[in-house]
Structure 1
Amino acid sequence: MQQHTYTLDHWEDRSGHRLAWKFGYRGTAGEFGRIEVVYPASRRGDRHVTEVKGDTVPVTSFMGWAYGRKPSLYMAELSVGGAGVRLKRNRWAQTRAGRAVRMQVAGREYRYLATSARHRDRALTRNGVEVRIRRHGSGARKKATFTVLGPADATDLALAAVMCGVNTRNLTRGGAVRAFFGRSMQWLDVFQ
């Protein structure tokens, strides 16, 4: 089975007002060329947008309820090459595989799931292809490493890259509990 590894470096642009700050990952992914992930690429009320652009990858965007600087899986919308994609997940499932985000892009079924209890290890899978995503490092040394197993194409890489700019804690039970308490505290602030 084919295996390739690509690494994108974290970047930040903290110029101007803090609401205009941008973050993300960028780098070169072999034959796919340059890839850049930007979050939040834009803000629409209480929703943030993460966007992926590159030499050969389709423009991909993910919009969801803001959780920190990234969009969350709550009220999420995904667009690949301008076409909307329906997302499905079972937030009450007990296993990581059951909590996976399911999507259908270009006639192919994908699953994006947590591969460990930590929020840094994820995988995007479809029939015959798996893209493992690992975010590691801290500060200026943050990186996102993609290990591609099988004959992946530009759409596979774009989907994996956009999910690096999405808060996916809810894909694990522990992350879902932490997110619930975080949202509860925000709701309590509303009533004060």
Structure 2
Amino acid sequence: MVPQNLQKYQLILASKSPRRQHLLKELGLDFQVHVSDVEEYFPPELGMTAIPEYLAELKATAVRKNLPENSLVIAADTIVWKDEEVLGKPGNRDEAIQMLQHLSSSQHQVITGVNIQSATKKYSFHAVTAVWFDELTDAEIEYYVDRFKPYDKAGGYGIQEWIGFVGVKKIEGSFFNVMGLPVHKVYQFLKEF
């Protein structure tokens, strides 16, 4: 259901993520996809929740400047945070394996920052989900990485894939946030926009 207040806007998702596109479609929203080509760099002094909000705003602003006045841009960025550091997207097989070994038998946070902006308004917010992994064997990790190639996913995994079925023993917070978009919060912000 499209909130009444949004009917005057052309919704734009500033993301090439198929998971974000799927989740936004499941909300019943009509939107176009415009991908920003910004470099995903953030100042090193930013903290856990500020990093993905900063990156989401960077993406939204880059896309927004090339669109008509009636456009409403939604952008998001997801990071995995463990031991006071960001685990981004793995660059190759070895990095993906190392990340999953690091996450095995422990807890980490998944933070998604979202930026929603029109020609006259701009909102940023985030959602945090705690995720606990069971112990993963090297064989399980290698099977997952070789079969699913999670190189486009923060932390080197997708909770909706095989590794989530066998490895995630508990979460606190939004499941969909771990997939890359806290749809419940996005919907609430869109209703209030």
> Is this a same-fold pair by TM over 0.5?
no
Greater share of strand: 1
Q: Give 1 or 2 for the bigger CA radius of gyration.
A: 2
**TM-score, length of structure 2 as denominator length:** 0.29
Higher helix proportion: 2
Higher relative contact order structure (alpha carbons within 8 Å, sequence separation ≥ 6): 2
